[in-house]
Amino acid sequence: MYPLKFEDIFKTVVWGGEKIAPFKGVQTEQHNIGESWELSGVKGNESVVANGPLKGHTITELACQYKETLLGKKVYEATGTEFPLLIKFIDARDDLSVQVHPDDTLAGARHNGSKGKTEMWYVVQADEGAHLMAGLSRQTTPQEYESKVNDNTVTEILKDYKVREGDTFFIPAGRVHSIGKGCFIAEIQQTSDITYRIYDFGRLGLDGKPRELHTELAKDAIDYTVLDDYRTHYPQVTDSENTLVSCKYFTTSLFDLSQSVTKDIASLDSFLIAICIDGQGTISDGHGNTIQIRKGETILLPADSLSATFTPEGSMKLLACHL
């Protein structure tokens, strides 16, 4: 196989802004674009290949046809033909709802065998004063949580962070969170679209009606553990691989490049996703295939690639993730 690009899937939402299309260097008639789904195997929102002989095929069709050649043997055995990661850019013109996601066990029991949703955020851009909420700020109970939701004070028990470019947060299933106004984020998550909305700041949806809350469902999904710091701290070495998050669902690294760097893929037994968050350059797969990548683009290197050689044109910053 060869490196693959995919068509954008833009999502119009009540809190969306105007940054995604310019960031990606594309034009669109849509407004209030809050999310660009870069690579998705979510049913009804499967990404479509945009380059080469496989152009027009969905990621699910490729997974069914190429199996471990695309996904890797260990990935295919674990996840089958459902592509296991969902990659997004998120532009928050306003605060997103306070929410939580169930883990695999709870999601499977409640939603017909669905996967849970563990995710991570990398702040690509941040307006002055941009913030987000992640995790509980103090010990609380399910009963107090419910009381706080009912009197619209639930944000008082959440940790609020002022953020800037490069800030990273790991959001395992069960951790209450909200992306705040002014954040432009790359999100990497399990293939799941299950969200329990806890609090929505009293706003109306695009249909002019209040959006549904899931107070009771969320109560049992929340992990009430309190941590001192929910921000992810990581090394920041140029022209090297800097691991941001490594969990059972994905490993994500940052490459801040001024010269070529090669990452082995053959030993991973997994595909590799490269998300360009700044600059431009090329990626070569070890089989003689080279593809251009620029800011706002996402490339999938199949598991049968030998390696990924990232070569910047001047400078380039990438997120790279695999299972």
b/e map of 194-203 (b: 16 or more CB within 10 Å)?
bebbbbbeee
- Asked whether 136 and 154 are in contact (CB, 8 A), the reply is no
- Is the Cβ–Cβ distance between 87 and 38 less than 8 Å? yes
Nearest to 294 by CA among 90, 98, 22: 22
The distance in angstroms from the start CA to the end CA of the chain is 19
Q: Which of 42, 61, 59 is nearest to 50 (CA)?
A: 59
Give 279-298 as a DSSP string.
Answer: EEEEEE-SSS-EEEEETT-E
Catalytic residue among 110, 138, 164, 197: 197
In contact, 167 and 254? CB cutoff 8 Å = no
What are phi and psi for residue 157, nearest 5 degrees? -105, 15
**Would you call 166 exposed, middle or buried from its count of C-beta atoms within 10 A (0-12, 13-18, 19+)?**
middle
Residue type, 145: Y
The token duo for 155 is 């944000």
Q: Is 197 known to be catalytic?
A: yes
Q: How far apart are CA 260 and CA 58, in angstroms?
A: 31
Give which of 127, 19, 7, 96 is closest to 56, Cα–Cα: 7
Which three-class secondary structure state does DSSP give residue 173? coil
Q: Which residues fall within 8 angstroms of residue 296, CB to CB, at 6 or more apart?
A: 23, 24, 25, 26, 89, 276
Which residues form the catalytic set?
A: 197
